[in-house]
Structure 1
Amino acid sequence: MQHTVSLGKLFTIFFKINAVTFGGGYTIVPIVSDEFTRRQHLIDDDEMFDIVAMAQSGPGAMAISTSLLTGYKLRGIPGALTCLVASALPCLITLSIISHFYLEFQKNPFVRSVLNGISGVVCAVLLVTTYNMAKRALRHHKVFSAVMMGMVFILSFFLHVDTAYLILMSGMAAIVLFYFTDREARS
């Protein structure tokens, strides 16, 4: 499925996506996924799902990690660096402008109204992204995925277990179940 894409096109795509998307990594994921799986046909759905899973598990901003890993997948290290710069640049530009006019923005009722409206849209996008990721996760290993999602939700929402522990616990359970059981089956 993989075709080549120029570094200039990668830069343009990620710069545009990051310049107009509010709400962080989970709001950017469906846009990046749609762009590279459906429009450009450069990455298939399963590969994109893996990229998102790796981006979530690493440190730092998920939007930047997703961009970096997508660039690496498509063009290696030059692609990763191109997408990293293209993703970080809109944030730096926006924050520089906002910091310069911070007091005016803070007092402006129009700006506050816009931000309140955007927060509603971000919530909707997060719900759609979560639903799509759950649907993909349940495609393979249905029982394991459903049990892990339920356990993590309960531990996080009701018992307030730290996210780092939940990620570590989920990773360890997956290693034990899939690595060691697959290894025994191959022996």
Structure 2
Amino acid sequence: MQRNLKFYLKLFRVTFLLSAFTFGGGYVIVSLMKKQFVDDYQWFEENEMLDMIAIAQSSPGAIAINAAVIVGYQLAGWLGVITTVFATVLPPFAIISIIAHFYQTFIENQWIAWMLEGMQAGVAAVIVSVVYNMVKDLVKKKEKYLILIFLLALLLVSYFNFPVSWLIVFSLCCGVIYSFLKR
């Protein structure tokens, strides 16, 4: 892949649009990143993208920024990191600046409150879609131990209010042990 000005502008545009139209937090961006970077542009293989997202999720900080750093670096080194991080930060910075300026007006407007409630349902649907696609891939590959780890993690969070930070460490340990034993 040629790394010229056209490539960097395309990388900026794709990342900017992902960031600008991803409402509801970093987890929503996961399925959109997969669609853009894997399906549309074939910049990554699906497994490679899932690995990068897993690293971004388990690293401290905002998942969108973490993912931008990893994707940018994988595609174009440090100049790619600068491009993707700037493109990822710019839309929320602009939106938050506008909201801060009109904060009092926004919190009193019933239409905006209803719109935000509706967006919560959409965000939940996107997160469920991401989980479904990841589990579907595990089932298709017949990864019974990874499916077991997923079900155990789901059980721990859903029924036992297991702290998410502990769940990440637990899943990380299970993944390392699984990978070690698989080899």
TM-score (norm 1): 0.89
CA distance in 2, matches of 1:169, 1:150: 13
Q: What corresponds to 1:161 in structure 2? A: 162
Aligned pairs for 1:19-34 (under 5 A) are 19-34=20-35
1:22 counterpart letter in structure 2: F
CA distance in 1, matches of 2:56, 2:138: 15
2:73 counterpart letter in structure 1: Y
Is residue 2:76 matched to residue 1:75?
yes
Aligned pairs for 1:12-161 (under 5 A) are 12-140=13-141, 142-161=143-162
CA distance in 2, matches of 1:138, 1:53: 18
3-state SS of paired residue (1:158): helix
Structure 2: segments with no counterpart, 5+ residues: none
CA distance in 1, matches of 2:142, 2:36: 27
Q: What corresponds to 1:185 in structure 2? A: none
Structure 1's consecutive aligned runs of 4 or more residues displaced over 3 angstroms after TM superposition are 137-141
Deviation at 1:139, TM superposition (A): 4.4
CA distance in 2, matches of 1:71, 1:59: 18
Identity %: 31
- In the superposition, relative to structure 1, how do residues 4 and 27 fare at CA in structure 2: closer, same or farther (>3 Å)? farther
2:131 counterpart letter in structure 1: T
Deviation at 1:145, TM superposition (A): 1.0
Q: What corresponds to 2:11 in structure 1? A: 10
1:15-72 deviation line (CA, Å, top 9, x unaligned): 1111122011221111111111121121111111111111111111112212221111
3-state SS of paired residue (2:160): coil
Deviation at 1:81, TM superposition (A): 1.9
CA distance in 2, matches of 1:70, 1:138: 27
CA distance in 2, matches of 1:170, 1:73: 25
- Are the equivalent residues in 2 in contact too, given 1:138–1:145 (CA < 8 A)? no
Structure 1: segments with no counterpart, 5+ residues: 183-187
- In the superposition, relative to structure 1, how do residues 31 and 177 fare at CA in structure 2: closer, same or farther (>3 Å)? closer
- In the superposition, relative to structure 1, how do residues 60 and 109 fare at CA in structure 2: closer, same or farther (>3 Å)? same
- In the superposition, relative to structure 1, how do residues 139 and 171 fare at CA in structure 2: closer, same or farther (>3 Å)? farther
- In the superposition, relative to structure 1, how do residues 177 and 45 fare at CA in structure 2: closer, same or farther (>3 Å)? closer
